[in-house]
Every structure is written in structure tokens, then in C-alpha cells.
Structure 1
């Protein structure tokens, strides 16, 4: 068995974060990459007749192409989600240590919120530009998620960001980004947002970065629709998913239009 993908010339996102002598990504580029990846996951979760759970969301499985367009890849561990009337899929735990949803790890109950947790870890990886598990660091710093949540609780996330981003990130954009990551990393899946909500908030982070509108912390908290851009740009979800093997469902998936996706995001009814 093999996995077949379209050619993504710039390779994995991880290579542009740490461990390689490649040009650093700007904060705007990183936000755009996160947004594209979130669109890919949103398509997997809502764009098919049954939810598809990726199960291995991480920076090495987000590939970059021309213009740093990001696409989700590697569906070797992917699994169909719960059927109508069910809340989860019971399955053996698989994934990558450091990105694994703790609830899934403890209960072996898999939901789409497991992908949301892994994506939250990836968001922190993008912000801090360090491995999610680094045994060479002090004990409190080994696990990126735990370390970042500690600084988030102190309201000092700016102290652990990638040094190359210092002075570049708008404080409102950083605050909102940290809030998104924190919500994705809630211990229980029911307390995490849907990937569609994460997508909307990331779009808002980008708007805050580009417009540099002055806002108070309380104005950017929560996930109320009032806090989102009035007309966020959402391209077709399937554009952010790298083709896998010889899947024959691509033709039917391509019928999802911008308006379909937009109505799903607004109504919260998904499919």
C-alpha cells in the first residue's frame, strides 16, 4: 500500500518552523497557513456524507505548495466518524505522541474534537517554533501544550513566541490566537470548539493583524458571531485537502460551493 499526493514543492510546514535552514515565515504567512489547514479539516469533518477524522494532525502533515498554499495530507490513520445517532467511534488509540487528544487516549473514544485538540497543539507549534515534545528542555518545558497553557494562564504568551516574530505580531491578534489554541486544548472534547469555529476565529486573527484595530481584551473574547469578520473569505474546503490515493469521491466533493460552506458555518448545522 502507498499514499499518493500531488506535488507540494515546499514540503512540510515543520521545515519552516525549526530544525532547517529555511527562511522564516512571517506572522501573516503563518496565519494564512493555519487558516488553509483549518479549511481542509473543516472539509473532512463536514464536507462528506459522514465525518472523516484525520487522527494525525501535525505540522509534518501540513504540506506547502506554491505561494505557501497549505494542504492537509497523510490520511493513513484517518477513520470515518460516528454514524447518525452515535456520539463517538470506539477504536484503538493511534496518532503522534504530543499531539494526541488526552480524552481519546484515556477512553479510546474518537470524535472530530480529537482533531481539534491536535490542531490546537499545531497552532502552538506554529507560534513558538519548537517541537511539541523536547526531552532536552527543563521538565516544565518538555511538553509544548502544557508549557504554553501555563504562560497563557499568566497572560504572558508573548514571552514564549518564536523570537523571529518579536515585534511583528499585533497584540490583539496574538491574544485572540492564544485564546483559540487554549480552547482547542480543553481536556474534554465537549468543551472544545468545532473546527468551523476555529476557522472563523483564525480569519479574525488575520483581520486583526492586517487592520491593527485597537480593541480591549473583553472585545475579542468568546466565540460569538459578533466577533467574527462580517464577510470572511472562505474558499472551497476541498482546496485544502491533498488528494489521497485514487479516491473516487473527489468529483462529488467538488460540488460544495462557497455559499454551501458559508451557510453551514453560520447556521452551525454542518451537513
Structure 2
């Protein structure tokens, strides 16, 4: 099986350890992970803010960069949803039939990490060890677009040493939403305050999610309040083993 890592521009720039964790985890499970050097942004930011014609070169580049792989794994439900739900829209509206065919070939193979582990590899116990009290935030794209369901929780429940606790009002948005947080700061901060209340109410040491964009937003709020609660991407928890300094 040829597996490619689609790291996403946010992770590549700010959270490279998450991409490394995905590779570490999949290699531990016996798979080789390739990193196509030609990959760039999936175009989500441009598409969502109305620059749809400008998204076309990124759709074309994505289809070219990830052509020929059996699975394209990403630690971002947000970007996976962009590729699977919107790349064809852009290709149809601004591209040509050949690009639509390329997108139709590649896009269905793009999977968020928990989808790949549970649905393709058929595993939930990945040999992880993380002796901390953890709560899980289901990000909006994973919940409402990809519909990953309980896959991340099934993976977390199998982690040795973990104390997994429920997050109050887990399905409510954290208020990030990309440029939403910039264009509607007061609303975003109010939503974040509700989410922080839930995180602190869980008495967790660590908040886990499958998108670093949301963890950046929530983690910033937790840090500014000096709560001592950390944030960790799902991939980083699953990649941690007994004796691992992480």
C-alpha cells in the first residue's frame, strides 16, 4: 500500500511534530509513509473567503502531488473535508474535464488519521501509552463534514494508562472557524469562553483534538488563563509509547 502524508500548511509551519507523529505511528504499525515534496496548501482559506478562482491552482497542484497513492493520510479533518467536498466544485466551475477526472481519482483517497486507522487498517489499539487525564474535543469539520463519529474516541480508549473523561458540551464549536475568529472576534471569544468552561469542568490535564487549528485557539485561551491544561493532537497521543519522553 502506497501511503502519502498530507501534512497541511498549518502543521508544516507551526506544528511539524504532528506530522512526524503520524509518520512515527504508521511506521510502528508496519507501513512506509511517503511525503510528496510538491504538496502545498489545499486552498481552504481561499475557498472559504470567496477567492474561489484563485483556489484552482492549488486544486490542480494537489491532484498532481498525490496522484498514484492508495491512501493520503492527513492530521486535519478540516483540510480533508476541503479536498473531499470542495475540490471537485472548484475543478468543475473553473477547471476542465481532465482536472475533474484527476480530482475524482485522488480526493476519495484523502482520509483523516482516525478514518485511516479504523476503516483502512482496521485497528484501534495502536500500542500507545499516555498516562494522563484527557478529554476530547470533536472539531466541527470532523463532526459535521467527515462524520468521523466515535473513531477518535475508540482509538483513545485503547491507549494504555489514559484516563479519558467526557468533555461537557463537546459538540459545540470552539469559535475558531479560520477567518471567522478574525472577522467576528467578540462572538468567537464568547464561544471560546464556553469551550474553556467545559474543558476546565472536565478537570482534564490535556485536551485532545484532531485539528491543530482548534487546539491553537483553545490552547491560547487556556494559556492566557494560566490553567495549566495542555493541548495535544490525537496523532501525538497515539504515537507516544511507554518510555517515550513525549
TM-score (norm 2): 0.30
Q: Which has the higher contact order (CA 8 A, sep 6+)?
A: 1
TM-score (norm 1): 0.28
